[in-house]
């Protein structure tokens, strides 16, 4: 039994090493440079071994996308948990979203197709819904005692997401302002949308 556990542990370590190597390549050379051969070179395996774990480069991209959404969900949840009032929660959650985008730039690019072709299958990942669901629920809380329709919440969520994702995207393709100016724009946008929800 111990040897079976060891084999499973080694397989999981190899999977993680493949994903880590993929991100390392992307951080150094960009998404277009990623290939199964390069991954194999980094972890000092042969390319056919990589295919035993991931059937294609797209399968690796999908797994990295899943990982990105799980990290983002954890960050958004942690930001929410630091506050009691829905308005403060929303502000903290969107700031966490912003911080994730630049701390995990390569993952964000892959998750949302910023300056890179994203994996179409990623849209079907259940993990991709977690961050949005967390924010959606707080928007509903902020609208209380009014019980909003799904369309009302949808409009508010996509107003937030459009502004914040747009600002992130502009900065990722090197057309943004200074960090200080960006933070000011971000905070003004968040507070303005929160005010529109409360009114």
Considering 3-7, 115-119, 148-152, 177-181, the range whose residues carry the highest mean pLDDT is 148-152
Which residues 6+ apart lie within 8 Å of 36 measured at CB? 47, 50, 51, 56, 57
Q: In the predicted model, is pLDDT for residue 193 greater than 80? A: yes
Predicted confidence (pLDDT) per residue in 155-171, tens digit: 999 999 999 999 998 88
CA distances from residue 136 to 86, 123, 133 in whole angstroms, order as listed: 11, 18, 5
Instruction: Tell me the pLDDT of the chain averaged across its residues.
Output: 90
Could you give the domains of the chain?
1-55 (1.10.10.60), 65-198 (1.10.357.10)
Predicted confidence (pLDDT) per residue in 98-152, tens digit: 999 999 999 999 998 765 655 565 667 899 999 999 999 999 999 999 999 999 9
Phi, psi of 146 (to 5 degrees): -60, 135
Q: Quote the pTM value.
A: 0.88
* Lowest-pLDDT choice from 54-58, 94-98, 163-167, 170-174: 170-174
Among candidates 189, 196, 190, 179, which has minimal Cα distance to 88?
A: 190
């Amino acid at each position: 039994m111990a040897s079976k556990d060891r084999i499973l542990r080694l397989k999981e370590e190899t999977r993680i090493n493949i994903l880590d190597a993929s991100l390392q390549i992307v951080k150094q050379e960009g998404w277009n440079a990623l290939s199964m051969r390069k991954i194999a070179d980094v972890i000092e395996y042969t390319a056919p071994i990589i295919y035993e774990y991931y059937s294609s480069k797209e399968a690796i991209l999908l797994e990295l996308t899943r990982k990105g959404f799980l990290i983002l969900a954890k960050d958004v949840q942690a930001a929410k948990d630091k506050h009691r009032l829905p308005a403060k929660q929303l502000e903290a959650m969107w700031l966490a979203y912003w911080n994730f985008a630049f701390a995990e730039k390569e993952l964000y690019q892959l998750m949302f197709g910023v300056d890179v072709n994203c994996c179409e299958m990623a849209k079907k990942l259940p993990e991709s819904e977690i961050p949005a669901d967390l924010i959606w629920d707080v928007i509903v809380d902020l609208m209380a005692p009014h019980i909003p329709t799904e369309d009302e919440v949808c409009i508010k969520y996509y107003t937030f997401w459009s502004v914040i994702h747009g600002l992130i995207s502009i900065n990722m393709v090197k057309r943004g302002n200074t960090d200080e100016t960006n933070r000011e724009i971000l905070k003004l946008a968040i507070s303005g949308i929160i005010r529109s929800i409360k009114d």
